[in-house]
Amino acid sequence: MNDTILVRGATLADGTGADILVSGGVVTEIGAGLSSAGASVIDAAGLIALPGLVDLHTHLREPGFEQSETVLTGSRAAAIGGFTAVHAMANTSPVADTAGVVEQVMTLGNTAGYVTVRPIGAVTAGLEGQRLAEIGAMATSRARVRVFSDDGKCVSDALLMRRALEYVTTFDGVVAQHAQEPRLTEGAQMNEGTLSGELGLAGWPAVAEESIIARDVLLAEHVGARLHICHLSTAGSVDVLRWAKARGIQVTAEVTPHHLLLTEQLAAGYDARYKVNPPLRRAEDVEALRSGVADGTIDIVATDHAPHPVEAKDCEWGAAAFGMVGLESALSVVQSALVDTGMIGWSDVARILSRVPAEIGRLSGYADGIAVGAAANFTLYDSGVTRTFATSDLRGKGINSPYLGDSLPGRVMATIHAGYPTVLDGELVDAETVAAAAVVAAAGREAKRG
Ligand SMILES: [Zn+2]
C-alpha cells in the first residue's frame, strides 16, 4: 500500500500557501511545487490546513451507554469535525475508574482508527465523591492516563479535591473539574435570572460555578498542582481565572463552542435541545467568554460532545437530559463566534483547538503543528462556504445538536490522522479502510521504535 499523500495548494494557519507531503505517518516536506511519484493527491486550493484538532472533553458513552454513542461512532463524529484526537470522559458504565476500563476504551479507539482516543480517568471511585479512584493504576496503565475528571459531577468535597490534586502531581497529571456547587444547584434547569423566573424553571446560579473555581484555584496553589476547569460559562468565572493566572497559579480552562454562541434566551421556547449543563447564560457572559479566549485567559475550546438518544431530548424540558452533540459543528461555531467576528485568527484557532489542548492532556505529537518531521495529523477546512446545518451533517449517534436549521460557516473537507485519511472530499472514509490503515500505521510506529 502506498502511504504517500501530497496535499496541493493549501493555505497554512499563518496565511502562507504550501504543498504538504506525507509519508510513513509523518510530514516529510512542506513547500511550493512539491511532487512525488505515485502519491495520492489532495487538491487543497482554497482550503486552510489546520493541525489536527484535539478535544479535551468528549463523551463517547462506551462502555455502557452504546445506545447513545460508541467509541467508533463518536470517533467518526470527531473525524468529520476535523479532530484527530479526543479525550473520552469517564462517566461510562462501568465508570472509567480502573486500569481495566481505561485500557478497554483506548483499545476500542485504536481499533476504530478514526482518531486517537485518550481515556480520562475518574477522580473518585464510581464518580461517587466518597474516595479516590485508582488514579495511580490508571496513570501507569497502557492508557497512560494524565487527565482525571468526575465530569458530569463536581468533586465538591474539598479534602478529596486536595488529595486528588496532590496525587496527580506525582506523574504530571491534571484534575479537570466540573465546577458546580451541588447544594446551590439542586433541581436546576437553566441559568438563574429574570428569565428563569418568568419561565418557572429552577435556576442554576453563576455563583455555583464561580465559588468552586475560586476554591479550587486556591487549593491548586496550596499544593502546587495543575488544575483544569471544564466548560467555563460565566463572566465571573473569567474574572476569577484571570486573577488566578495573574497570581501564577497553574490553572487552565476550556469553554465550549455553544457557550460562545448561544444564550439563555433559547430556553424561552422550552425546546430541550438547548438544555445543557452548565446552562446557556446571558449575552454578557457570551461576550466575556469570547474576550477571555481572545486575550488568552481561557486556554482552549472543548466540545463537551454529549450525545443522547432521541427520547431523552424529545420530551418536556424538566424531564429531558442535559447535553448537546458538538464534535461535528465545533470548528464552524468557533469560526462564527471568534474568527468571523475578528476576535482571533486561524493561528489562534490552531492554538486553542490543537496545540494547547494536547499540551494540557500531555498528548505528544502536537507541539509543532504542521511541521516537517511531525506526525501527520491535520485537517483541510473550507472557511468560505455557508451551510444550513442539518442532521445529515452529523456522524455520531446523537442528533441533539442545537444548530439544526441554523446557518453555519465552513466545512471540513479532509482529515489526515497518523498519516492516513479519515475524511476525503467532505465525507468519511469507510470504517474498514480506516481500521486497516490504523493497523499499518501502528506497525510502522512500532518498527521505528525498534
Ligand atoms: Zn461537565
Residue 379 vs residues 99, 189, 306: alpha-carbon distances, Å:
32, 37, 23
pLDDT on residue 448: 84
E strands, 153-281, are 174-177, 190-191, 203-204, 227-229, 251-255
Residues in the chain with pLDDT values less than 50: 1
Q: How far is the CA of 306 from the centre of ligand 1 (A)?
A: 10
Position of cell 485537517?
Answer: 379
Instruction: Specify the pLDDT at position 449.
Output: 80
Q: Does domain 52-360 have CATH number 1.10.3720.10?
A: no
Q: Does residue 393 carry a catalytic annotation?
A: no
Going by C-alpha positions, the residue among 284, 281, 279, 448 that lies closest to residue 375 is 448
Q: Calculate how far, in angstroms, residue 33's C-alpha sits from the geometric centre of ligand 1.
A: 46
10 has which bridge partners?
18
Q: Residue 319: how many CB atoms within 10 A of its CB?
A: 10
- Helix-helix angle 206-223:235-246, to 10 degrees: 10
Instruction: Tell me the C-alpha distance between 78 and 88, whole Å.
Output: 11
SS3 (DSSP) at 33? coil
158-169 helix and 206-223 helix, angle to the nearest 10 degrees: 50
pLDDT in tens, 382-397: 999 999 999 999 999 9
Long-range CB contact pairs, 423-428, < 8 A, 24+: 423/79, 423/80, 423/82, 423/379, 424/42, 427/80, 428/76, 428/79, 428/80, 428/114, 428/395
User: What is the 59 CA–ligand 1 centroid distance (Å)?
Assistant: 10
- How crowded is residue 149: how many other Cβ atoms within 10 Å of its Cβ? 27
State in Å: Cα 153 to ligand 1 middle.
Answer: 7
Cell, residue 319: 424531564
- Report the candidate in 426, 448, 432, 422 with the shortest Cα–Cα distance to residue 86: 422
- Going from the Cα of 347 to the center of ligand 1, the distance in angstroms, rounded, reads 27
Say how far apart CA 363 and CA 354 lie, in whole Å: 10
CA-based radius of gyration for the chain? 21
- What local confidence, expressed as pLDDT, does residue 3 receive? 87
Compute, in angstroms, the gap from residue 51 CA to the centroid of ligand 1: 26
Question: What pLDDT, on the 0 to 100 scale, is given for residue 128?
Answer: 98
Distance 210 CA to ligand 1 centre (A): 14
Report how far ligand 1's centroid is from the alpha carbon of 200 (Å): 24
Rounded to the nearest angstrom, the distance between the alpha carbon of 17 and the centre of ligand 1 is 39
5-49+375-449 and 52-360 share one fold: no
Q: Which position has the grid cell 496513570?
A: 139
CATH class belonging to 5-49+375-449: mainly beta
Q: Name the residue among 31, 152, 171, 16 with its Cα closest to residue 96.
A: 152
Using CA atoms, how far apart are residues 280 and 278, in angstroms rounded to an integer?
7
B/e letters for 384-403, b = 16+ CB within 10 Å, e = fewer, are: eeeeebeeebbbbbbbbbbb
* Residue 170 Cα to ligand 1 middle (Å): 25
Contacts of residue 209, defined as CB under 8 A and 6 or more positions apart, other chains included, come to 179, 180, 181, 232, 233, 234, 236, 237, 278
H helix intervals, 345-430: 346-350, 356-360
Task: Tell me the CA–centroid distance for residue 263 and ligand 1, in Å.
Answer: 18
- Which of 304, 368, 406, 425 is an active site residue? 304
Please state the domain extents for the chain.
5-49+375-449, 52-360
Q: Report the distance separating Cα 431 and Cα 18, nearest Å.
A: 30
Rounded Cα–Cα distance for residues 58 and 305 (Å) = 5
Which pLDDT value is given to residue 343? Answer: 98
Secondary structure percentages of the chain, helix, strand, coil, to 5: 35, 20, 40
